[in-house]
Amino acid sequence: MKNIVASANKNKWSSMSGGKPPTTWAVLRTLILIWLVLIIVLPVIWIVLASFKDLPELGQKPPTLIPHAWHISNYSQALQTYGFATFLRNSIFVTASATLLTLIINSMAAFAFAKYNFRGREGLFIMTLAMLMIPLQVILIPIYQVITKLHMVNTFWGLIIPAAATPTGVFILRQYMLTIPDEIIESARIDGAGDFRIFLRIIIPLAKPALAVVTIFSIMWRWNDFLWPLIVAQDSKFYTLPVALAILNGELSVPYNLVLAMSVLSLLPVIIMFVFMQRQIAQGIAQTGLK
């Protein structure tokens, strides 16, 4: 009987680990990964559960994990009392508009860098990559002065336009477009297609994985952006969610249960997007060439 059980366990480990029982290092590595995942996930779980508590329970010591009573009204109260519905709508509009503009500008620039031969191309591309090393704080004042001259302060255009062209997006799309054979473009030109038609009908469909990656990155950047909206949006009707949450946290009396509820709502779009588009993220990054 013992021999049968040992043989069954051996066959089980063989089928699970490719014919070998797990080594001590493999087990230790798995435990470390599980521990790291818990470190990352537990704060998010706590925020979600705490968003359903009332203020007395949030201040209770020792703190509780599961709410004694589930206050779903925290969400409706935050949306109605503090006008978070407006801030949520502003974030959605700014993020969607800026992402669309980013895809248009970055894809056109990447197409020019990848498929056109012109004098100074490599120098311009190096300058574009050099922008990755310049933090926003360094160029914040010049950008603000330009926006002021264009009368875009305290407008949605002032929130959307300055961050439209991103060096990271140009780099990702350009590297991916380099993997598209030039013969396809030459064949289209022989058939009479113009450059703009080639860009729309050939390059854009073939570059969908890279476009998906840039879309996801852009949404995350715009949705979580705090510094630039804080400076440009001087009227509360133009506030985005990060700015509204920060200003509410600066009040003398902070309704932390409502702040946590709105924090959960601000996390949901990014989490949902990542869950449904993680395949596109992996595929786009894996297929982005490094020529």
Instruction: Render pLDDT for 138-186 as a digit per residue (tens, 0 to 9).
Output: 888 888 999 999 999 889 999 999 888 888 889 989 988 888 888 888 8
For 238-257, b/e burial (b = at least 16 CB within 10 A) is bbbbbbbbeebeeeeeebbb
| Range(s) of the domain holding residue 18 | 2-73
Regarding whether 233 and 97 lie in a shared domain, the answer is yes
Q: Tens of pLDDT along 140-153?
A: 888 899 999 999 98
CATH of residue 273's domain is 1.10.3720.10
What's the token pair of residue 215?
């879309």
Task: Work out the angle at residue 240's Cα, subtended by the Cα atoms of residues 263 and 156, and round it to the nearest 5 degrees.
Answer: 160
The domain boundary residue, chosen from 73, 91, 109: 73
Whether residue 62 is preceded by a cis peptide bond, meaning omega within 30 degrees of 0, is yes
Same domain, 98 and 198: yes
Q: Are both 192 and 218 inside the same structural domain? A: yes
Q: Are residues 173 and 38 part of one domain?
A: no
User: Domain tally for the chain?
Assistant: 2
The pLDDT tens digits of the residues spanning 234-272 come to 888 889 988 888 887 766 577 788 888 888 888 887 778
Asked if residues 87 and 239 have their Cβ atoms less than 8 Å apart, the reply is: yes
At which residue do the structure tokens 């209770």 appear?
60
For residues 125 and 212, membership in a common domain is answered with yes
158 and 21 fall within a common domain: no
* Tens-place pLDDT, residues 63-117: 788 888 888 888 888 777 777 888 888 999 999 999 999 999 999 999 999 888 8
Q: Is residue 56 domain-shared with residue 91, that is, in the same domain?
A: no
Contacts of 136 (CB under 8 A, 6+ apart): 227, 228
Q: Domain check: are 65 and 90 in the same one?
A: no
Q: Are residues 226 and 132 in the same domain?
A: yes
Q: Which of 73, 99, 126 is the last residue of a domain?
A: 73
Q: Identify the pLDDT of residue 289.
A: 46
CA-based torsion, 111, 116, 120, 126: positive or negative: positive
Q: Give the 3-state secondary structure of the chain.
A: CHHHHHHHHHHHHHHHCCCCCCCHHHHHHHHHHHHHHHHHHHHHHHHHHHCCCCHHHHCCCCCCCCCCCCCCHHHHHHHHHCCHHHHHHHHHHHHHHHHHHHHHHHHHHHHHHHHCCCCCHHHHHHHHHHHHHCCHHHHHHHHHHHHHHCCCCCCHHHHHCCCCCCHHHHHHHHHHHCCCCHHHHHHHHHCCCCHHHHHHHHHHHHCHHHHHHHHHHHHHHHHHCCHHHHHHCCCHHHCCHHHHHHHHHCCCCCCHHHHHHHHHHHHHHHHHHHHHHHHHHHHHHHHCCCC
Average pLDDT, the chain: 82
Q: What is the pLDDT of residue 84?
A: 81
pLDDT of residue 13: 46
282 with 272, same domain? yes
Domain boundary among the residues 34, 49, 73 is at: 73
Asked if 106 and 199 sit in the same domain, the reply is: yes
Q: Are residues 168 and 253 in the same domain?
A: yes
Nearest CA to 110 among 193, 188, 168?
Answer: 168
